[in-house]
């Protein structure tokens, strides 16, 4: 799927402009000796806000990864947002991963729930229940899929651009989390996981599970 936005996420433009201006001023007046730490910060911010286009894998009934990162949880759990037993798959994003979040399945948005909270390390299981988070519940052809953006240790802003009643498509860009975080995916127990703890995954490119009845 092609995304109608530049390869650098719009959320990063103000940061890049600010750091870029400061870096150029320091370089101009102080030379590279003084400016090199600022150039490192600039390139870190540039890589953090990269937002490459992605193509979904071929196949029906696939649940796509909503984020880049590493799998830290694959287990049966309680989905507290849809009040059910579910298969939980969690993707942890470090500061070097792409932080643009994308829709896992097609359907319509039944609920959007935001919860303020703490900012403990997002790789820890307790982050799912204690950290700031934003959950969306998608009705995908009668199958309920919950995606939860969870803030991390230094993440201080969760951005979500969809609303109740919106129709969404697999791979659609729907949000962004700044500076380290995770996304929890809750699926019906009929879902068959295609990933294991420790696997590296990519938003839209990687299928997390197969869920009969999606298509």
Catalytic residue numbers, as ranges: 181
Sign, CA torsion 171/4/151/42: positive
Q: In the 8-state DSSP scheme, what is residue 18?
A: H
Output phi, psi for 204, to 5 deg: 70, -45
Find, among 5, 91, 16, the residue nearest to 52 by Cα. 5
Q: Tell me phi and psi for residue 150, to 5 degrees.
A: -120, 125
Instruction: Return d(Cα 66, Cα 147) in angstroms, integer.
Output: 8
Query: CB–CB of 83/199 below 8 Å?
Result: no
Question: Would you say 195 and 206 are in contact if contact means Cβ atoms under 8 Å apart?
Answer: yes
């Amino acid at each position: 799927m092609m995304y109608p936005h530049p390869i650098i996420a719009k959320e990063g433009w103000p940061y890049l402009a600010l750091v870029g201006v400061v870096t150029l001023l320091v370089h101009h007046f102080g030379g590279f000796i003084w400016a090199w730490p600022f150039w490192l910060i600039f390139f870190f911010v540039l890589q953090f806000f990269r937002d490459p286009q992605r193509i979904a894998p071929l196949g029906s009934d696939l649940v796509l990864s909503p984020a880049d990162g590493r799998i830290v949880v694959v287990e049966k759990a309680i989905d507290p947002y849809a009040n059910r037993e579910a298969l939980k798959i969690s993707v942890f994003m470090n500061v070097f991963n792409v932080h643009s979040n994308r829709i896992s399945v097609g359907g319509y948005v039944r609920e959007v729930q935001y919860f303020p909270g703490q900012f403990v390390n997002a790789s820890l299981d307790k982050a799912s229940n204690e950290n700031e988070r934003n959950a969306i519940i998608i009705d995908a052809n009668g199958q309920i899929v919950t995606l939860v953006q969870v803030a991390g240790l230094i993440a201080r802003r969760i951005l979500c651009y969809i609303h109740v009643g919106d129709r969404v498509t697999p791979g659609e860009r729907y949000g962004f989390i700044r500076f380290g975080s995770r996304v929890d995916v809750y699926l019906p127990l009929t879902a068959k996981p295609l990933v294991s703890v420790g696997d590296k995954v990519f938003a839209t490119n990687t299928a997390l599970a197969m869920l009969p009845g999606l298509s």
